[in-house]
């Protein structure tokens, strides 16, 4: 596993700032945007802010011409601070309070995702100001996190819901789907595109206002453990499927993890150690209530290593809280570590500090930002 930082630079940052740290590299974010654009050249991106809503990431996405996928009024406030053009945003949470709709419209975001009749009815009073995307469910057993259980209408219900929306005087711009996170193949992406293309053709034969947009969601995988294909190979079936849409459909996507996961590493210190059940236990100053929260909430298995050389044995890495669930890894090969040794978690940009807590009143890790383009020069600062 390669990283954007060498071991000596890691030691220097830990000595300068203390631990725990999350080091965020904006140049890696820019690289990921370029790679995904090359893999999906005719798709417009709206960054899923929830993956990592750090200001440096939001500024970098804006500089790269990436729009924003918002799912709450809080996320609207985050992008508002950077004078983001509201027309470059979409609100993708399928279930909303009316105040969420009002907050979004005050900001200027007018495109919303819905997935059922009750949600359609919430937009009747705003029908002259909004455009809707109807989310379709495609359960995906190949995904680590299958989002279709909680959101989306069945494909068989889609045409009826589109007709209900038309009767209510609502403007439905198109369809939306999300086949889940960390799929090992793009077969469900391709299937969903073909199914949506069929629905769009059938509706457009009869509809007064044709559907013109398809949102293919996110879920583009990153390689935590050396088992995923590269992004160009992964997206090849999606590119092929998109040809079935024809040239008059605007295709958008909501990438999150792929753009930011490789852009951050965690630097923690061993704060204590013990021997239990004939195995060494090492207690870190960050854990699953902090930056390693994705171990629980995101099912992520981050590459973890130490900077100390030596023969490795099965070990346990625990977090700093007084809770037994706070186990970062319960079987990891590590050399014999000492108190103060550094442990590095890689690929930790997505769903880490964004889902962390302050349980036990422990402070969250500090974030060090590298290579943010603030003055056209590469800079580093603390945020």
**Which H or E run includes 162?**
helix 155-167
Domain 53-255 matching CATH 3.20.20.370: the answer reads no
Domain with CATH 2.40.37.10 in the chain: 7-22+262-382
Q: What is the pLDDT of residue 381?
A: 45
Do 109 and 91 meet the contact criterion of CB atoms below 8 Å apart? yes
The fold for domain 7-22+262-382 equals: Lyase, Ornithine Decarboxylase; Chain A, domain 1 (2.40.37)
Q: What is the pLDDT of residue 207?
A: 66
Measured in residues, the chain has a length of 383
Tokens representing residue 154 in the block: 């069945």
To the query of whether residue 365 is one of the catalytic residues in this protein, the response is no
**How far is the C-alpha of 366 from the C-alpha of 94, rounded, in Å?**
33
CA dihedral angle for residue 308, residue 309, residue 314, residue 315, rounded to 10 degrees: -10
Dihedral sign, Cα of residue 219, residue 149, residue 173, residue 51: negative
Which position among 225, 277, 322, 365 bears the catalytic label? 322
Query: Each residue of 342-356: pLDDT tens digit?
Result: 999 999 999 999 999
Q: How many CB atoms within 10 Å of residue 95?
A: 14
Would strands 313-318 and 304-306 be described as parallel, antiparallel, or unpaired? Answer: unpaired
Do 115 and 134 meet the contact criterion of CB atoms below 8 Å apart? yes
Q: What is the pLDDT of residue 383?
A: 45
Q: What is the pLDDT of residue 139?
A: 87
Domain with CATH 3.20.20.10 in the chain: 53-255
Tens of each residue's pLDDT in the chain, 383 residues: 557 999 999 999 999 999 999 999 999 999 999 999 999 999 999 999 999 999 999 999 999 999 999 999 999 999 999 899 999 999 999 999 999 999 999 999 999 999 999 999 999 999 999 999 999 999 888 878 777 788 999 999 999 999 999 999 999 999 999 998 888 899 999 999 999 999 999 999 986 789 999 999 999 999 998 888 899 999 999 999 999 998 899 999 999 999 999 999 999 999 999 999 999 999 999 999 999 999 999 889 999 999 999 999 999 999 999 999 999 999 999 999 999 999 999 999 999 999 999 999 999 999 999 999 987 443 444 44
**How far is the C-alpha of 86 from the C-alpha of 245, rounded, in Å?**
27
Do 215 and 192 meet the contact criterion of CB atoms below 8 Å apart? no
User: pLDDT above 90 covers what percent of the chain?
Assistant: 88
From residue 260, alpha-carbon distances to 61, 83, 347 in Å are 10, 21, 8
**How far is the C-alpha of 264 from the C-alpha of 370, rounded, in Å?**
10
Q: What is the pLDDT of residue 209?
A: 85
């Amino acid at each position: 596993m390669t990283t954007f930082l060498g071991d000596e630079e890691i030691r220097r940052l830990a000595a300068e700032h203390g631990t725990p740290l999350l080091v965020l590299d904006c140049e890696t974010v820019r690289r990921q945007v370029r790679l995904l654009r090359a893999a999906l050249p005719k798709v417009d991106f709206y960054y899923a802010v929830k993956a990592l809503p750090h200001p440096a990431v939001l500024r970098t996405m804006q500089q790269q011409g990436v729009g924003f996928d918002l799912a709450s009024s809080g996320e609207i406030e985050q992008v508002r601070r950077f004078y983001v053009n509201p027309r470059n945003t979409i609100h993708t949470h399928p279930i909303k309070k009316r105040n969420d709709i009002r907050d979004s419209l005050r900001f200027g975001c007018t495109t919303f995702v819905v997935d059922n009749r009750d949600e359609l009815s919430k937009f009747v009073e705003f029908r002259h100001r909004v455009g809707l995307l109807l989310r379709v469910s495609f359960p995906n057993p190949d995904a680590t996190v299958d989002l279709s259980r909680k959101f989306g209408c069945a494909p068989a219900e889609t045409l009826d819901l589109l007709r209900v929306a038309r009767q209510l005087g609502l403007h439905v711009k198109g369809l939306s789907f999300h086949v889940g996170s960390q799929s090992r193949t793009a077969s469900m992406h391709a299937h969903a595109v073909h199914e949506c293309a069929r629905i769009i053709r059938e509706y457009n034969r009869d509809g007064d206002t044709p559907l013109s947009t398809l949102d293919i969601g996110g879920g583009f995988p990153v390689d935590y453990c050396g088992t995923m294909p590269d992004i160009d190979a992964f997206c090849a079936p999606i590119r092929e499927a998109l040809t079935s849409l024809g040239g008059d459909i605007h295709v958008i996507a909501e990438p999150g993890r792929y753009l930011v996961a490789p852009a951050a590493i965690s630097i923690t210190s061993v704060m204590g150690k013990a021997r239990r059940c004939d195995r060494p236990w090492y207690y870190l100053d960050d854990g699953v209530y902090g930056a390693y929260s994705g171990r629980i909430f995101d099912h992520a298995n981050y590459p973890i290593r130490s900077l100390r050389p030596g023969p490795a044995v099965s070990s346990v890495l625990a977090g700093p809280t007084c809770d037994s669930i706070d186990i970062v890894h319960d079987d990891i090969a590590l050399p014999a570590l000492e108190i103060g040794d550094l442990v590095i978690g890689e690929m930790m940009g997505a769903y880490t500090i964004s889902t962390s807590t302050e349980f036990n009143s422990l402070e969250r890790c500090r974030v060090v930002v590298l290579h943010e383009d603030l003055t056209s020069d590469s800079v580093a600062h603390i945020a």
